[in-house]
Amino acid sequence: MNEAVREGGCACGHVRYRVAGEPMMVHNCHCRLCQQQTGSTSVVNAFFESERIELLTGELTRHVVQGGSGKSHTIFRCTQCGTAIWSQYSRLGSLSSGLRAGTLDDPGSVTPDVVIFTASKMPWVTLPEGIPAFPAYYDFAEVLPPDRLARLQALVARRQAGEG
78 vs 99 by CB, closer to Zn ion: 78
Strand partners, 78: 60
* Residue from the set 50, 69, 80, 90 that interacts with Zn ion by CB under 5 A: 80
The binding track of 102-141 with respect to Zn ion, each residue x by CB under 5 A or -, is ----------------------------------------
90 binds Zn ion (CB under 5 A): no
81 binds Zn ion (CB under 5 A): yes
Q: Judged by CB under 5 A, which stretch of 16-24, 78-86, 87-95, 135-143 contacts Zn ion? A: 78-86
Residues at the interface with Zn ion (CB under 5 A)? 10, 12, 14, 29, 31, 34, 68, 78, 80-81
